[in-house]
Structure 1
Amino acid sequence: MMKDILKVQKECCKHYEEEFSPITLEQLVVVSDGVLEGAKPVKGVRYKSPEHMSGWWLTDDSFNGNIDSLKNIHFSHIIEKRPDLAIYMALPYGYRFLLGSNKEHVWFDEMVLND
């Protein structure tokens, strides 16, 4: 399964003409409640982070801004529960995506690198 994810991630990075920056299965991803269930659109952003963190923060519309409600989960759980999100997770720091409701929007946000 991981081999398939890496292949699709490489294709994603090539599509956006970006460096392939994969994360490991053990690295942590920050998620809000509801993301793994997949009922609402998901917003993702990748910040520069310590090595044990992937840098990815994933939230949905139910996130109220309270960072204490966020959870850290291993990337392996994202692959298991939401492989549709895992596709984007080799994009470099500074990338954002919005996925859901038959929409896909992916872009680089230089402001993220300054946060």
Structure 2
Amino acid sequence: MPPAGHEKVGIALATLANVPLHAARVQPENGDCGWYIYGGEYSTDTDFYQPLCAAHLSEYCDKIVPYLGLPPGWRVLLAPNYEDVWFDEELLISEARDA
């Protein structure tokens, strides 16, 4: 289920240099593909995520591109010499936007 190039991802651009890199896919809605991506620590700030067309994701966060085909409910955690990918049922709850 890779996102279409025009679909939006939620990405915390200012955090991408931080480790580890987190990505989680919730149910897509309203033109977004369901992916939320950030580096380091999560924040509840309302402006934490910015919308980005999936077609441009490789320019900002190419490390996550190989995982974009995962369906809703999956999480990815990447750090130097570390990779973890797992299913998280909680992401399928529509209110789970604090990925």
Range of TM-score over shorter length: 0.7 to 0.9
The Cα shift of 1:66 comes to 1.3
1:47 aligns to 2:33 (yes or no): no
1:89 aligns to 2:68 (yes or no): yes
More strand by share: 2
Residue-pair matches, total: 93
More helix by share: 1
- Corresponding residue number in structure 1 for 2:45: 66
TM-score, structure 2 length as denominator? Answer: 0.82
Q: In terms of Rg, which structure is larger?
A: 1
SS in 2 for 1:45: strand
- Corresponding residue number in structure 1 for 2:11: 31
| CA RMSD across the alignment | 1.6
Deviations 1:66-104 (A, max 9, x none): 132310111122122322211101100000010112210
Query: 1:90 and 1:51, CA in 2 relative to 1: closer, same or farther beyond 3 A?
Result: farther
TM-score, structure 1 length as denominator? Answer: 0.72
> Using the alignment, how far apart are the partners of 2:9 and 2:30 within structure 1?
12
Deviations 1:22-80 (A, max 9, x none): 11111111011222xx4422111000021510100001114422132310111122122
- Which consecutive unaligned segments of at least 5 residues does structure 1 have? 1-20
Identity of aligned residues (%): 26
Which residue, out of 59, 77, 84, partners 2:56?
77
SS in 2 for 1:86: helix
> Using the alignment, how far apart are the partners of 1:67 and 1:46 within structure 2?
19
- Which consecutive unaligned segments of at least 5 residues does structure 2 have? none
- Corresponding residue number in structure 2 for 1:98: 77
